[in-house]
C-alpha cells in the first residue's frame, strides 16, 4: 500500500479543513463552513478524508519543538546543551532543562505545546459534530467513526492534562466560548475514562493497513492503561504540595491484559525493528504517528536530525554533510542506567587497497546500542544495523574525514570521521561525561551521546526528517506498565515475569540477565522503563509518578551532569504554567498553583 500517495490525495482536503486556532476559546471556530455537508461528507471515502485533519496535529504533538520534546528535555534523558553559538536560541532550550517555564512564556515554549494539543481536540470536536448532523444513512459506520474521533480527542486531552493539569475539557463544537474554563484534573480524568470506555465497543479491532496510524480498540486500551498507571498523579490533591491520589493498579492491569491476551501484538526479536524503516508496520507497535522522508511538503521524523552531528551522517550512508543538527543528547546520569557490558571481536577489511584492522563491539543489552559513543566511522547505513551488534569502535585507519571542501578526497581515503568547525579540525569522538551545560570549546560539540534508535535511511535527505513512524504505544511498554501495577498491587511473581519478558528480548534471549525478586524495587523499575523507553515521550511522566509514589525527588531534585539545581520544594513544577497568551484570550482560565 502506498500510504504517501494516499496522503497526497487527501492533501487539498487537509489544507482546507485544518483548524489553525491556538486558543481553547476558538474550539468552535467554523473554519469548515466553506465546505457544507451537501457537497462533502457524502460517502465513505469523503468521510475518511474528512477525519484526516484530526490526525494532522499528531506530528506537532510528538515532533521537534513540541510537547514531546519539551517534556523529554524537562526529564533526565534529553538535553540541548549550548555549544558555542549553537543552541543558545535566547534561552529557549535552556528553560526546558532547568524547569524555568513561567506564565509569561517569553520564548513561546508553553504556547507551542498548548496549541497543537487543543487544536487537535478541536478538530475532533468538529468532525464529531459534523457526523452527528449528517442526513440519516449518509455514514454507514457513524458509531465507529464517532468512537474513533472521541478516542483520539481523549488522547489529545490526556497530553494536555499530563502537562497542564487543570484544562478546558470541551466536547461540544458549538460551545459558547464565554463559558469555557479549565476544570480540575481529577474531573478531566473521570471524563476521559468515561469517554474511552464508551468508545471501546464501537472501535475497530483491526490491525492492518486500514488502521495504520489510526486510533483503534487497542489504542483506547493503551490510553486507559497509561491513565490508570498515572492515577496517583492525575487524581492528586489540588493544592501545593500535591498529595498522591488513589492508585488504580487493578484497572491498569485489566487494560494491559486486554492487549496482551489478544495475541495480536508481539515483541520484535530485535529492539530496533520497532523503529527502523519508513513507517514500518512492526508487530509490536500499537499506535504510531506516520512520518515521511524526502518529501518537500510532508513532515518527517526530526529526532535523528536533531541529535546526530552533520559529519557523522556518514555513518548511516547519508552524503556528507547536509544532515544532523548536533542538538539533542542524553545526559551523563541517564546513560549510567544502561548496562554497557559488551563482547568484543576483531576483523580486517580492505578499504581502497589498504588492509584495515577493526575492533568490534556487541552490547549484551541491545538497548545500550541506541547511543553513539566514541570515535565515529563511515558506514553504508546497512552493515551498521542493528547498532548494538558488531559496531566498529576502533581501527588502525588514518584520521580523518572532515567533510569540508578541501577534504573531499579523504572521504574515500579513511573511515574515521572528523569535524571541521570554525576553522578547527577535531576527530568526531563523542563522549558521555557532560559536566557542564554551556561550553564554547570545539570539542564540546562532541559532548553528550546521540540517540539513533530511529535508524535513519540511506541516501540524500530533502526535508530534514526521516520516514520512521514515531511510536506512541507498543507492546513492551504494556508489559512494563502491567509489571509496575502488579508490583504495587502485591503480585510480585506476575511483575517479575513481565519485566523479564522485556529483559529477555533486550538481552537477546539470554536468561542470565533476568531479574530475581530482590531486583523488584521502585528505583530499578524506573530505570528499566528508562532503558526501554528512552526518548519515547514518557520519561517526565514516569519521573513525576515515581516521585509522587515514593517521595524520592526523581523529577524536582537536583541533577549533576549537566548541573541543575533542585526545583522549589512545593513541587509546583510538576505542572507547567498555563501560557499567559491563553489566559489573556480567555479570562475564565485560572493559572496553576505556584505560578
Confidence at residue 410, expressed as pLDDT on a 0 to 100 scale: 52
DSSP string, 297-337: SS--B-HHHHHS-SGGGGGGTPPTTS------B--HHHHTT
8 or 383, which is more confident? Answer: 383
In terms of phi and psi (left: phi > 0; alpha: psi -120 to 50; beta: otherwise), the region of 594 is left
Confidence at residue 11, expressed as pLDDT on a 0 to 100 scale: 31
Q: For residue 408, is pLDDT > 90?
A: no
Q: What is the pLDDT of residues 315-374, one digit of tens each?
A: 998 887 668 899 999 999 999 999 999 999 999 998 878 899 999 999 999 999 999 999
* CB 157 within 8 Å of CB 53: no
> Of 352, 354, 391, 396, which is closest to residue 374 (Cα–Cα)?
391
Q: For residue 20, is pLDDT > 60?
A: no
Q: What is the pLDDT of residues 205-225, one digit of tens each?
A: 999 999 999 999 999 999 999
All three cell numbers of 235, joined, read 487524581
Q: For residue 30, is pLDDT > 80?
A: no
291 or 463, which is more confident? Answer: 291
Q: Do domains 1-203+556-595 and 208-290+474-551 have the same CATH topology?
A: yes
Q: For residue 116, is pLDDT > 70?
A: yes
Confidence band, pLDDT 50/70/90 cuts, at residue 407 = low
CA dist., res. 4 & res. 10, Å (int): 10
Residue 168 β-bridge partners: 182
> Of 179, 181, 150, which is closest to residue 167 (Cα–Cα)?
181
All three cell numbers of 228, joined, read 490508570
Q: What is the pLDDT of residues 62-112, one digit of tens each?
A: 976 689 999 999 999 999 999 988 999 999 999 999 999 999 999 999 999
CATH superfamily of this structure's domain 208-290+474-551: Tetratricopeptide repeat domain (1.25.40.10)
Which of 15-19, 86-90, 395-399, 402-406 bottoms out in mean pLDDT, i.e. has the lowest?
A: 15-19
Confidence at residue 146, expressed as pLDDT on a 0 to 100 scale: 98
Other C-beta atoms within 10 Å of 508: how many? 17
534 to 69, 338, 356, 445: CA distances (angstroms): 12, 11, 35, 22
What are the extents of the domains in the chain?
1-203+556-595, 208-290+474-551, 303-468
Which of 3-17, 98-112, 268-282, 548-562 bottoms out in mean pLDDT, i.e. has the lowest?
A: 3-17
CATH topology of domain 1-203+556-595: 1.25.40
CA dist., res. 375 & res. 344, Å (int): 16
Q: For residue 27, is pLDDT > 60?
A: no
Q: What is the pLDDT of residues 218-263, one digit of tens each?
A: 999 999 999 999 999 999 999 999 999 999 999 999 999 999 999 9
Kindly report the CA angle at 166 between 161 and 167, in degrees rounded to 5?
Answer: 70
Confidence at residue 424, expressed as pLDDT on a 0 to 100 scale: 86
Cell 549550548 locates to: 82
* CB 318 within 8 Å of CB 376: no
CA dist., res. 426 & res. 402, Å (int): 8
Q: For residue 453, is pLDDT > 60?
A: yes
Q: For residue 409, is pLDDT > 70?
A: no
> Of 574, 589, 557, 530, which is closest to residue 367 (Cα–Cα)?
530
Other C-beta atoms within 10 Å of 137: how many? 7
**pTM for the full predicted model:** 0.93
Highest mean pLDDT among 425-434, 452-461, 506-515: 506-515
Q: What is the mean pLDDT of residues 454-466?
A: 81
Confidence at residue 352, expressed as pLDDT on a 0 to 100 scale: 75
- pLDDT over 90, % of the chain: 76
CA dist., res. 465 & res. 306, Å (int): 9
Alpha helices, DSSP H, located in 339-474: none
Residue 359 β-bridge partners: 346, 394
Q: What is the mean pLDDT of residues 413-423?
A: 85
Q: What is the pLDDT of residues 521-570, one digit of tens each?
A: 999 999 999 999 999 999 999 999 999 999 999 999 999 999 999 999 99
Please give the mean pLDDT across all residues of the chain. 90
405 or 20, which is more confident? Answer: 405
DSSP string, 277-301: STT---TTEEEEE---SS-SSS--B
Other C-beta atoms within 10 Å of 560: how many? 10
Confidence at residue 297, expressed as pLDDT on a 0 to 100 scale: 60
Residue 372 β-bridge partners: 450
- pLDDT over 70, % of the chain: 90
- Please state at what angle helix 67-74 crosses helix 539-550, rounded to 10 degrees: 50
Q: What is the pLDDT of residues 175-189, one digit of tens each?
A: 888 899 999 999 999
> Of 538, 539, 536, 555, which is closest to residue 370 (Cα–Cα)?
536
> Of 544, 546, 565, which is closest to residue 165 (Cα–Cα)?
544
In this structure, what DSSP letter does residue 171 have? -
410 or 585, which is more confident? Answer: 585
Confidence at residue 294, expressed as pLDDT on a 0 to 100 scale: 63
CA dist., res. 153 & res. 260, Å (int): 24
DSSP string, 236-288: S-SSSSPPP----HHHHHHHHHHHHTTT-----SSGGGGT-STT---TTEEEE
Which of 76-80, 400-404, 574-578 bottoms out in mean pLDDT, i.e. has the lowest?
A: 400-404
Confidence at residue 238, expressed as pLDDT on a 0 to 100 scale: 93
Amino acid at each position: 500500500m502506498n500510504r504517501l500517495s494516499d496522503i497526497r490525495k487527501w492533501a487539498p482536503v487537509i489544507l482546507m479543513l485544518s483548524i489553525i486556532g491556538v486558543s481553547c476559546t476558538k474550539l468552535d471556530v467554523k473554519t469548515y463552513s466553506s465546505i457544507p455537508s451537501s457537497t462533502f461528507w457524502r460517502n465513505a471515502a469523503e468521510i475518511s478524508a474528512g477525519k484526516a485533519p484530526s490526525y494532522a496535529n499528531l506530528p506537532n504533538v510528538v515532533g521537534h519543538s513540541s510537547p514531546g520534546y519539551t517534556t523529554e528535555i524537562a526529564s533526565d534523558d534529553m538535553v540541548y546543551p549550548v555549544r558555542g553559538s549553537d543552541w543558545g536560541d535566547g534561552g529557549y532550550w535552556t528553560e526546558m532543562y532547568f524547569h524555568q517555564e513561567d506564565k509569561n512564556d517569553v520564548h513561546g515554549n508553553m504556547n507551542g505545546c498548548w496549541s497543537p494539543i487543543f487544536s487537535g481536540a478541536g478538530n475532533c470536536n468538529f468532525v464529531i459534530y459534523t457526523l452527528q448532523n449528517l442526513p440519516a444513512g449518509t455514514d454507514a459506520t457513524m458509531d465507529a467513526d464517532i468512537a474513533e474521533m472521541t478516542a483520539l480527542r481523549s488522547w489529545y486531552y490526556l497530553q494536555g492534562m499530563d502537562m497542564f493539569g487543570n484544562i478546558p475539557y470541551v466536547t461540544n463544537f458549538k460551545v459558547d466560548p464565554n463559558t469555557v474554563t479549565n476544570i480540575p484534573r481529577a474531573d478531566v480524568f473521570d471524563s476521559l475514562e468515561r469517554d474511552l470506555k464508551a468508545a471501546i465497543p464501537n472501535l475497530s479491532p483491526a490491525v492492518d493497513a486500514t488502521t495504520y496510524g489510526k486510533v483503534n480498540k487497542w489504542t483506547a486500551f493503551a490510553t486507559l492503561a497509561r491513565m490508570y498507571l498515572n492515577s496517583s498523579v492525575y487524581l492528586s490533591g489540588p493544592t501545593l504540595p500535591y498529595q498522591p491520589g488513589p492508585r488504580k493498579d487493578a484497572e491498569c492491569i485489566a487494560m494491559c491484559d486486554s492487549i496482551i491476551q489478544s495475541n495480536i501484538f508481539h515483541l520484535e526479536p530485535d529492539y530496533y525493528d520497532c523503529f527502523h524503516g519508513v513507517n514500518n508496520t512492526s508487530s509490536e507497535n500499537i499506535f504510531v504517528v506516520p512520518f515521511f522522508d524526502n518529501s518537500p511538503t510532508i513532515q518527517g521524523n526530526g529526532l535523528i536530525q536533531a541529535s546526530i552531528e552533520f559529519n557523522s551522517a556518514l555513518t548511516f550512508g547519508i552524503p556528507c554533510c547536509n544532515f544532523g543538527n548536533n542538538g539533542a543528547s542524553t545526559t551523563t546520569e541517564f546513560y549510567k542506567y544502561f548496562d554497557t557490558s559488551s563482547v568484543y571481536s576483531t576483523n580486517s577489511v580492505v578499504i581502497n587497497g589498504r588492509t584495515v584492522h577493526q575492533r568490534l563491539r556487541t552490547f549484551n543489552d541491545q538497548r545500550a546500542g541506541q547511543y553513539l559513543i566514541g570515535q565515529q566511522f563511515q558506514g553504508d547505513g546497512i552493515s551498521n544495523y542493528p547498532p548494538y551488534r558488531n559496531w566498529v569502535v576502533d581501527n588502525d585507519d588514518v584520521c580523518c574525514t572532515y567533510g569540508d571542501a578541501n577534504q573531499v578526497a579523504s572521504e574515500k581515503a579513511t573511515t574515521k570521521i572528523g569535524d571541521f568547525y570554525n576553522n578547527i579540525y577535531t576527530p568526531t569522538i563523542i563522549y558521555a561525561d557532560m559536566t557542564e551545560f554551556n561550553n564554547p570549546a570545539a570539542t564540546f560539540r562532541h559532548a553528550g551521546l546521540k540517540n539513533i534508535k530511529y535508524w535513519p535511511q540511506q541516501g540524500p535527505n530533502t526535508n530534514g526528517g526521516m520516514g520512521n513512524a514515531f511510536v506512541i504505544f507498543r507492546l513492551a511498554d504494556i508489559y512494563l506498565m502491567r509489571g509496575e501495577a502488579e508490583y504495587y498491587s502485591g503480585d510480585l511473581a506476575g511483575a517479575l515475569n513481565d519485566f523479564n519478558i522485556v529483559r529477555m528480548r533486550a538481552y537477546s534471549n539470554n536468561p542470565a540477565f533476568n531479574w530475581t525478586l530482590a531486583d523488584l524495587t521502585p528505583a530499578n523499575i524506573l530505570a528499566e522503563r528508562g532503558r526501554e523507553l528512552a526518548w519515547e515521550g514518557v520519561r517526565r511522566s514516569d519521573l513525576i509518578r515515581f516521585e509522587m509514589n515514593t517521595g524520592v525527588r526523581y523529577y524536582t531534585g537536583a541533577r549533576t551532569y549537566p548541573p541543575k539545581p533542585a526545583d522549589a520544594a512545593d513541587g509546583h513544577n510538576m505542572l507547567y504554567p498555563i501560557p499567559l497568551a491563553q489566559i489573556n484570550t480567555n479570562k475564565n482560565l485560572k493559572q496553576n498553583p505556584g505560578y
